[in-house]
Amino acid sequence: MLSIENLHASIQDDQKTKAILRGINLIVKPGEVHAIMGPNGSGKSTLANVLAGRDGYDITEGNVHFEGVDLLAITPEERAALGLFLAFQYPVEIPGVNNMYFLKAALNGLRKHRHLEPLDAMDFLKTIRSKIKEVGLDETFLNRAVNEGFSGGEKKRNEILQMLMLEPKLAILDETDSGLDIDALQMVAKGVNSLRNAERSIILVTHYQRLLDYIVPDVVHVMANGQIIKSGDKSLALELEAKGYGWIEGSSS
């Protein structure tokens, strides 16, 4: 599904080059759920953004293949068309653009890339009405502007709604759990779990073990200073929770 080899990325900050990713290696197989944990500034979100193709990063070394395609050579929309989805840490507001219209345009955009007919309007409406219930948002959110005036929790639920509608092959959730109360967290987890199957992979970027109580990962990675310094099964997350990041950072140096 996804293979990352020796990925290095940096940003230009005050005319100085600052390395953020310093040799990431990661293989995600179909059906697997990977959690990437680590302290602030370890490069977790950068990794998610680089995979999705956000501007502003220089890839200095390494390569990424997704379903056999050189991911770094194609545009963000082409990556989306291949089935890569990023749930944003800070979902963006688009004033004046109807939420449902946006989602429909996105879905039909993906379908066009895949040489499929646009979805029938009635089928779309039926599907979205059932999915929006799953994420616990009122139907009125469909007719509001994309994320405009939504609370933090509502934005995150809206991300999950988009994910459920777009049915990606690889979903990357960038700190989707941050700022959520326990009810919202469970709702998000339920949504993600409903998508789990043998063909679909999920990468959870998170600070806290809490989310992993609800979405049980196959593999847990710990990032620090732009590298994956430790990988293990779900018990690694619990150990981290108990001992703190200092434990692992200390042990690696």
Q: How many CA atoms lie within 13 A of 17 on its CB side?
A: 10
Alpha-carbon dihedral sign for residues 207, 208, 211, 217: positive
Binding residue for other proteins, selected from 76, 118, 244, 250, defined by CB under 8 A? 76
| Region near other proteins per CB under 8 A, out of 54-62, 188-196, 213-221, 228-236 | 54-62
Interacting residues with other proteins between 83 and 122 (CB under 8 A): 85-86, 88, 90-97, 102-103, 105-107, 109-110, 113
By CB under 8 A, is residue 33 in contact with other proteins?
Answer: no
Q: Which is nearer to other proteins, 78 or 239 (CB)?
A: 78
The answer to whether the beta carbons of residues 102 and 128 sit under 8 Å apart is no
Residue count, binding to other proteins (CB under 8 A): 33
Q: Which is nearer to other proteins, 38 or 91 (CB)?
A: 91
The end-to-end CA distance of the chain, in Å, is: 31
Interacting residues with other proteins between 142 and 201 (CB under 8 A): 145, 162, 166
The answer to whether the beta carbons of residues 119 and 107 sit under 8 Å apart is yes
Helix (H) or strand (E) holding 192: helix 182-195
In whole angstroms, how close is the CB of 89 to other proteins at the nearest point?
Answer: 11
Distance CA 244, CA 247 (A): 6
Sites of contact with other proteins (CB under 8 A)? 52-56, 75-77, 79-81, 85-86, 88, 90-97, 102-103, 105-107, 109-110, 113, 145, 162, 166
